[in-house]
């Protein structure tokens, strides 16, 4: 019996060793297959990206030409701000000034400084409207987009459809209804006449919803299993993951509100933003053309700076949201 048991044990041991060898052989074959597949993909990608020197030069030339074409209006606007008045009216216009001067900016600050309302008041109004409208919209849009993207409830599809349909209407079409609603709320001639519509900006809600839909549901379910509540999941998991989206909203709203002039909602001059004061300089006629050129540069500085800092976030968000 002992000899028979030892034979069985040896046979079992041999079978286990053969199985292990086969498993190791299969694993090696699998790793080799994966390595060959990666190598083939790498070779195809290199072939697809490889270009001749002539092709590289042609591509660089085309991109450089389009870059110059796109940058020309911006360079021309900035250049005009440093030209004397006689050079601004030269035809054909010159791209760069012959006599570089800061007189246009000096005239601009003198005109604003002589106003009965200090420029600091206009600047405060602009910063107040811009910051409150931007921060309020990002928070409200994020809170609304989260349940629409990650929860199932009656009427969810209808609300999503209404959000998309609202993007189809021009601001000229919704101007009168917006004014009536703001008037009923008693917000005419207050900064909140601009801030409240900015907080309800539906494009931001659409972008946040589209971006949140890319977050895996398994990640949120794992957080719930660990005991995290909805607000904890939203603030500590969802919001950090959608950082490119809300940074894009900050840029878009900031640029829009920075250039707001109060329109037909604010009538008291002391409540008007900075863009209104600068527009009054532009409306002064031909004699203020130089100051008007300086106004264009002043209004461009902040939005362009913000955009240049975070332009990669905008591109990333548009790619995830499906917009082109």
Q: pLDDT by residue (tens digit) across 59-89? A: 888 888 888 888 888 888 888 878 777 777 7
Question: Cβ-count burial of 49 within 10 angstroms (0-12 exposed, 13-18 middle, 19+ buried)?
Answer: exposed
Q: Report angle CA 61, 63, 64 to the nearest 5 degrees.
A: 65
User: What is the token pair recorded at 140?
Assistant: 């409200």
212 CB contacts (<8 Å, ≥6 apart)? 145, 146, 149, 150, 238, 242, 245
Tell me the pTM: 0.66
Examine the pLDDT at 323 and tell me if it is beyond 50. Answer: no
Residue 11 pLDDT: 59
At 313, the pLDDT band (50, 70, 90 cuts) reads low
- Taking only the tens place, the pLDDT of each residue in 137-194 is 888 988 888 888 888 888 888 888 888 888 887 777 777 888 888 889 888 888 888 8
């Amino acid at each position: 019996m002992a000899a028979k048991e030892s034979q069985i044990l040896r046979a079992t041991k041999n079978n286990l060793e053969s199985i292990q060898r086969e498993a190791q052989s299969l694993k090696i074959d699998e790793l080799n297959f994966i390595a060959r597949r990666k190598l083939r993909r790498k070779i195809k990608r290199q072939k697809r990206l490889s270009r001749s020197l002539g092709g590289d030069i042609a591509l660089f030339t085309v991109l450089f030409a389009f870059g110059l074409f796109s940058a020309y209006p911006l360079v021309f606007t900035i250049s005009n701000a440093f030209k004397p008045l006689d050079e601004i009216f030269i035809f054909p216009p010159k791209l760069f000034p012959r006599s570089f001067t800061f007189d246009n900016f000096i005239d601009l600050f003198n005109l604003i400084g002589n106003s009965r309302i200090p420029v600091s008041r206009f600047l405060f109004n602009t910063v107040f409207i811009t910051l409150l409208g931007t921060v309020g919209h990002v928070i409200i849009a994020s809170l609304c987009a989260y349940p629409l993207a990650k929860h199932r409830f009656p009427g969810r599809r209808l609300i999503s459809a209404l959000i998309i349909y609202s993007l189809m209407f021009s601001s000229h079409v919704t101007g009168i209804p917006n004014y009536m609603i703001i008037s009923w709320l008693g917000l005419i001639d207050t900064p909140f006449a601009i801030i409240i519509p900015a907080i309800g900006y539906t494009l931001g809600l659409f972008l946040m919803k589209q971006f949140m839909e890319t977050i895996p549901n398994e990640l949120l379910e794992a957080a719930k299993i660990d005991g995290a509540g909805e607000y904890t999941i939203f603030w500590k998991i969802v919001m950090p993951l959608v950082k490119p989206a809300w940074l894009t909203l900050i840029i878009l709203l900031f640029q829009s509100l920075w250039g707001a002039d109060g329109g037909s909602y604010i009538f008291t001059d002391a409540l008007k933003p900075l863009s209104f004061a600068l527009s009054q300089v532009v409306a002064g006629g031909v004699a203020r053309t130089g100051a008007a050129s300086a106004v264009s540069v002043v209004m461009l500085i902040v939005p362009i700076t913000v955009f240049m800092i975070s332009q990669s976030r905008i591109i990333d968000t548009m790619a995830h949201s499906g917009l082109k």
